[in-house]
């Protein structure tokens, strides 16, 4: 009898370890659980055009960054609303000091700068298809021109509601429509950017006290890399996705009248931006 | 071509130099093993779809070594699949190294194993760790096993291990399997039961997998018609421990035998079941009766959400299967039926299989001098009945809900497979044997192969064996498969000459004369020769293989089209 004790103990241990997890429902959370609370107008695919994202990495203590800002504004003037800029204050030159007390950095921007290995600024990343470390302002135009604008994989419709769902609450309602089959997995990021921020900026050796910073990334509404639209390639190329995300302005210095939401649709694997849209928080 | 010659020479040398006397004795120790080499020189053929491959010469090779001394044994298998046959490359079965090793001690009371091992509980509904080399399946567990036989007829087994995943490293794996099984053979415990002609056997098992949930799962839901949105199953909503329990029993009396096993799986949302939380279950029943000259066997199987794998995101072919839901239909060796073999559907199948064998007595008017064997076979499989739950209807998908409810014995709307077959086998004279067969097959191309439609086809086959002289025999196999569906009708002929026990030659051709595409009315010819010397077999073949599927026991894999020269060497010692 003794000889069976040891094996029985081992078998009992295995039996006891073969546990079972029981998960209670509901199991799934729909990403637009807040509920899209607007009606999107019917989409006319013929009216959709390909827009391009330019993320400019910058910093208020960066002596060459005003040159970058000028280049960016020149491109925005040239391409109009088909080029959507986001200025990301990052690297040590964006850290606040006594002379430059405002902190224009955003958590999402710092994460992006780290992931894109941004070292020297100004640096631009166009449609996230750029090489690591970004490119210098002189190359931005050629990179923007390199985007194939005849290829229009998707449309983004973006409607913001400010103060509707709660005081100081911005709710971004988004509708993504795939205009053709896309063989890849997609994510959607929602960024909040602000124009007209007056704050000191180094320009060469001179400090420009009343410098106006535009397109400054303030926050990501749904995380730095947004949310996956689906884990699988949509079977139907004309799939439509609805989702909504909110953010509170309470306790911030953000001016809603100067803010916009930028929606970025991109490929989960290679980060290529398929479409981008910008819409002011208030009209 | 140079590389092929080098490979052939090396292989033949290995085979020739291999010690040929079986099982080497060193005192009370014994060393045994076996070696296998299967190589091919690929020739591109765009018509049959045999694309040019990177390396034209490819081979699979392995060597098994086993040392045993009394109750102790230890073994290993070295596998060289670095440049494997293209079938295996497509399965990602590619790499090399010692992928199987173990040490085992066994006496009348206990058996302990450390390392890799294979194991099956009951019919495999809860656990089947096995190897099927032709399919590129090796689901061995790396870990430990203990078996105890406290009393004659009682066997308790415990296993704990990580499942093999091709040539991937075990390091960093976040999943493992553990389980226990109890088997009670009352015929051995109470010998009087056996003496009275009864068989009584019961057993039960409990197997659980742990699969760490590191990531949320994103799915698409359809809250409104024509509108999709994404949804997330948070990682804390993914069960990390999922068990399957199973109970089985066998009862027999004289020529009658009844076997059954029922298994239930707890919540296991995974990619193969579209992340539903419904419990799975499977029921397998089998009844046989035999008497002189007559036998009948009937089986029933129902499997509902029973795809049970080590990792919830794994959906590739047969990788990481912990259990096995068997296909109970009759297995055929007819070449033209190979493309329409039924693949077991662990997540949704219900079906029956009936086989009746009758021998018309010897020396009777109809039965002839040697008797005549008649076999009738019928099998039919459907998917299971499913009614969506209200939660699933609300979000337009079963994903992330309990999925569906199902009437247990109701057949679902889709026929998966049906086979009605009849076979006559008769020995005509001392030198001649004849087999005639007819089958009517219905095969759901969409659900079983991912093509469109249903294939209905008739097979007529004849197999004639002529013993030309002592040790010399000639076999002729002729088949005609008639169908208007899929790739259309085909005809197949095979001529095989054997000089027992050493030589074997064959020539065959399959002609897809009914292919709706004129350019694909192709011949798939094959010439083969084999030589057997003691425990060594060397075979050479040249020809074309049609793209299709290969199924063994209801487990299938895709077979790509190929054309070329093949060499196979197997030996044991």
Cβ A245 vs Cβ A172: under 8 Å = yes
Per-chain mean pLDDT for chain B: 90
The answer to whether residue A25 sits within a structural domain is no
Lowest mean pLDDT segment, chosen from A89-93, B48-52, B182-186: B48-52
The answer to whether residue A5 sits within a structural domain is no
* Preferred mutation among B229, B232, B391, B394 to probe A, highest tally of A CBs within 10 A: B229
User: Which of A255, A259, A253 minimizes the C-alpha distance to A221?
Assistant: A259
Distances (CA, A) of A46 to A43, A78, B228: 9, 23, 22
d(CA A194, CA B271): 42
Residue A274: partners with Cβ closer than 8 Å, 6 or more residues away: A153, A154, A182, A186, A265, A266, A267
Tell me the chain B residues in contact with residue A241 when contact means C-beta distances shorter than 8 Å.
Answer: 220, 228-230
* A144 Cα distance to chain centroid: 19
pLDDT in tens, B390-440: 999 888 889 999 999 999 999 999 999 999 999 999 999 999 999 999 999
Terminal CA-to-CA distance of chain A, rounded, Å? 85
CB atoms within 10 A of CB A274: 22
Beta bridge partners of B148: B110, B156
Question: Among the residues of B474-521, which ranges form H helices?
Answer: none
Phi/psi zone of residue A202: left (φ > 0), alpha (ψ -120 to 50 degrees), beta? beta
What is the least distance, in Å, from the CA of A115 to any CA of chain B? 20
**pLDDT attached to residue A190:** 94
* Preferred mutation among B146, B231, B390 to probe A, highest tally of A CBs within 10 A: B231
d(CA B542, CA B58): 15
Q: Where are the domains of chain B?
A: 107-326
Beta bridge partners of B115: B102, B143
Tell me the chain B residues in contact with residue A30 when contact means C-beta distances shorter than 8 Å.
Answer: 221, 223, 229-231, 395
What letter would DSSP give residue B50?
A: B
Model confidence band, residue B101 (pLDDT cutoffs 50, 70, 90): very high
**Is the CB of B229 less than 8 angstroms away from the CB of A29?**
no
Distances (CA, A) of B50 to B45, B543, B561: 5, 12, 5
**Is the CB of B208 less than 8 angstroms away from the CB of A242?**
no
Distances (CA, A) of B30 to B270, B281, B570: 46, 45, 20
The answer to whether residue A7 sits within a structural domain is no
* Phi, psi torsion values for A74, nearest 5 degrees: -60, -40
Cβ B485 vs Cβ B477: under 8 Å = no
d(CA A2, CA B73): 26
What is the least distance, in Å, from the CA of A172 to any CA of chain B? 15
**Is the CB of B148 less than 8 angstroms away from the CB of A7?**
yes
Q: Which domain holds residue A140?
A: 31-41+48-280
**Is the CB of B395 less than 8 angstroms away from the CB of A28?**
yes
Cβ B350 vs Cβ B302: under 8 Å = yes
Model confidence band, residue B366 (pLDDT cutoffs 50, 70, 90): confident
Tell me the chain B residues in contact with residue A242 when contact means C-beta distances shorter than 8 Å.
Answer: 227-229
**Is the CB of A22 less than 8 angstroms away from the CB of B234?**
no
Question: Among the residues of B191-327, which ranges form H helices?
Answer: 191-195
What letter would DSSP give residue A105?
A: B
The answer to whether residue A13 sits within a structural domain is no
**Is the CB of A20 less than 8 angstroms away from the CB of B109?**
no
> What are the structure tokens assigned to A275, written together?
């479409």
> What are the structure tokens assigned to A5, written together?
């004790």
pLDDT tens digits in sequence order for chain A, 283 residues long: 556 676 677 667 666 666 678 888 889 887 655 668 888 998 898 899 999 999 999 999 999 999 999 999 999 999 999 999 999 999 999 999 888 999 999 989 999 999 999 988 999 999 997 677 888 999 999 999 999 999 999 999 999 999 988 888 899 999 998 888 777 778 899 999 999 999 999 999 999 999 999 999 999 988 888 887 765 544 444 578 888 888 889 888 999 999 999 999 999 888 999 999 999 999 7
**Is the CB of B401 less than 8 angstroms away from the CB of A28?**
yes
* B520 Cα distance to chain centroid: 30
The answer to whether residue A188 sits within a structural domain is yes
Q: Is the ipTM of this complex over 0.90?
A: no
**Is the CB of A231 less than 8 angstroms away from the CB of B217?**
yes
Q: Is A22 exposed, middle or buried (0-12, 13-18, 19+ CB in 10 A)?
A: exposed
**Is the CB of A31 less than 8 angstroms away from the CB of B240?**
no
The answer to whether residue A9 sits within a structural domain is no
* A274 Cα distance to chain centroid: 13
What letter would DSSP give residue B519?
A: G
pLDDT in tens, B200-221: 999 999 999 999 998 888 777 7
**Is the CB of B243 less than 8 angstroms away from the CB of A3?**
no
**Is the CB of B232 less than 8 angstroms away from the CB of A23?**
no
Residue window 221-240, chain A: list those with CB within 8 Å of chain B: 227-232, 234, 239-240
Domain count, chain A: 1
What is the least distance, in Å, from the CA of B22 to any CA of chain A? 36
Cβ B77 vs Cβ B62: under 8 Å = yes
Distances (CA, A) of A177 to A43, A114, B98: 9, 31, 51
**Is the CB of A3 less than 8 angstroms away from the CB of B240?**
no
What is the least distance, in Å, from the CA of A161 to any CA of chain B? 20
Residue A266 sits in a domain whose CATH number is 2.60.40.10
* Preferred mutation among A9, A12, A16, A18 to probe B, highest tally of B CBs within 10 A: A18
Could you tell me if A192 lies within 8 Å of chain B, comparing CB atoms? no
**pLDDT attached to residue B367:** 84
**pLDDT attached to residue B12:** 46
User: Closest to A239 (Cβ–Cβ): which among B150, B178, B228?
Assistant: B228
d(CA A107, CA A220): 8
d(CA A231, CA B117): 35
């Amino acid at each position: 009898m003794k000889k069976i004790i040891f094996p029985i103990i081992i078998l009992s241990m295995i039996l006891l370890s073969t546990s079972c997890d029981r998960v209670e429902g509901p199991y799934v959370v729909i990403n637009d659980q807040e509920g899209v609370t607007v009606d999107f107008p019917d989409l006319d695919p013929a009216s959709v055009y390909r827009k391009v994202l330019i993320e400019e990495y910058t910093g208020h203590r960066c002596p060459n960054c005003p040159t970058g800002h000028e280049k960016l504004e020149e491109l925005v003037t040239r391409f109009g609303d088909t080029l959507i800029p986001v200025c990301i204050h990052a690297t040590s030159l964006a850290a606040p000091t006594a002379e430059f007390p405002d902190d224009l950095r955003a958590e999402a921007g710092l994460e992006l700068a780290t992931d894109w290995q941004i070292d020297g600024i100004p640096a631009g990343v166009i449609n996230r298809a750029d090489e690591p470390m970004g490119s210098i302002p002189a190359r931005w135009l050629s990179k923007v021109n390199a985007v194939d604008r005849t290829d229009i994989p998707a449309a983004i419709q973006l409607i913001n509601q400010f103060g509707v769902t709660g005081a100081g609450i911005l709710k971004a309602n988004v509708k993504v429509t795939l205009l053709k089959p896309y063989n890849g997995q997609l994510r959607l990021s929602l960024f909040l950017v602000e124009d007209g921020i007056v704050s000191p900026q180094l320009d060469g050796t001179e400090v420009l006290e009343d410098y106006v910073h535009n397109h400054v990334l303030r926050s990501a509404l749904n995380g730095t890399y947004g949310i996956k639209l689906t884990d699988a390639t949509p079977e139907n190329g004309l799939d439509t996705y609805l989702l909504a995300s909110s953010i509170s302005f309470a306790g911030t210095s953000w001016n809603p009248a100067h803010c916009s939401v930028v929606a970025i649709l991109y490929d989960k694997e290679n980060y290529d931006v398929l479409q981008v849209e910008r819409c002011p928080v208030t009209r | 071509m140079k590389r092929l010659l080098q490979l052939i020479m090396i292989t033949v040398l290995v085979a020739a130099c291999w010690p040929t006397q079986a099982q080497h004795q060193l005192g009370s120790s014994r060393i045994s093993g076996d070696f296998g080499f299967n190589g091919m020189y690929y020739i591109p053929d765009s018509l049959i779809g045999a694309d040019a491959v990177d390396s034209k010469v490819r081979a699979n090779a392995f060597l098994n070594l086993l040392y045993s001394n009394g109750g102790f044994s230890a073994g290993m298998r070295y596998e060289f699949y670095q440049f494997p046959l293209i079938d295996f490359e497509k399965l990602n079965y590619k790499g090399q190294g010692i992928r199987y090793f173990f040490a085992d001690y066994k006496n009348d009371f206990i058996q302990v194993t450390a390392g890799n091992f294979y194991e099956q509980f009951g019919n495999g509904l809860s656990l089947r760790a096995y190897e099927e080399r032709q399919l590129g399946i090796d689901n061995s567990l790396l870990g430990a096993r203990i078996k105890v036989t406290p009393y004659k007829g009682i066997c308790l087994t415990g296993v704990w291990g990580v499942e093999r995943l091709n040539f991937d490293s075990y390091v960093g794996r976040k999943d493992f399997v553990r389980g226990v099984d109890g088997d009670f053979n009352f015929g051995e415990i109470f010998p009087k039961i056996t003496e009275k002609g009864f068989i009584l056997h019961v057993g039960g098992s409990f197997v659980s997998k742990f699969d760490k949930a590191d990531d949320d799962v994103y799915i698409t839901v359809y809250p409104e018609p024509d509108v999709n949105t994404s949804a997330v199953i948070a990682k804390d909503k993914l069960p990390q421990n999922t068990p399957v329990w199973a109970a089985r029993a066998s009862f027999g009396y004289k020529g009658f035998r009844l076997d059954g096993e029922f298994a239930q799986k707890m919540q296991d949302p995974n990619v193969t079941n579209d992340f539903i939380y419904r419990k799975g279950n499977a029921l397998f029943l089998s009844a046989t009766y035999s008497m002189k000259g007559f036998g009948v066997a009937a089986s029933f199987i129902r499997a509902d959400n029973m795809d049970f794998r080590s990792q919830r995101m794994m959906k590739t072919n047969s990788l990481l299967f912990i259990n096995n839901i068997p296909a109970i239909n009759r297995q055929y060796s007819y070449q033209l039926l190979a493309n329409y073999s039924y693949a077991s559907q662990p997540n949704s199948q219900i079906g029956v299989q009936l086989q009746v064998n009758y021998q018309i007595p010897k020396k009777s008017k109809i039965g002839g001098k040697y008797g005549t064997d008649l076999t009738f076979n019928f099998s039919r499989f459907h998917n299971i009945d499913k009614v969506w739950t209200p939660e699933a209807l609300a979000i337009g998908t079963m994903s992330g809900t309990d999925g569906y409810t199902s009437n247990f014995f109701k057949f679902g709307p889709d026929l998966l497979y049906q086979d009605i077959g009849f076979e006559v086998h008769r020995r005509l004279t001392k030198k001649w044997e004849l087999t005639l067969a007819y089958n009517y097959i219905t095969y759901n191309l969409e659900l079983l192969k991912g093509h469109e439609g249903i294939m209905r086809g008739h097979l007529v086959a004849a197999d004639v064996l002529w013993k030309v002289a002592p040790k010399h025999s000639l076999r002729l196999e002729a088949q005609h498969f008639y169908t208007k569906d899929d790739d259309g009708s085909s005809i197949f002929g095979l001529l095989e000459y054997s000089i027992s026990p050493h030589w074997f030659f064959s020539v065959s051709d399959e002609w897809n004369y009914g292919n709706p595409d004129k350019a694909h009315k192709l011949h798939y010819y094959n010439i083969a020769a084999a030589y057997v010397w003691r425990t060594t077999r060397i075979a050479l073949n040249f020809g074309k293989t049609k793209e299709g599927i290969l199924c063994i026991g209801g487990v299938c894999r895709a077979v790509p089209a190929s054309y070329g020269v093949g060499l196979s060497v197997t030996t044991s010692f």
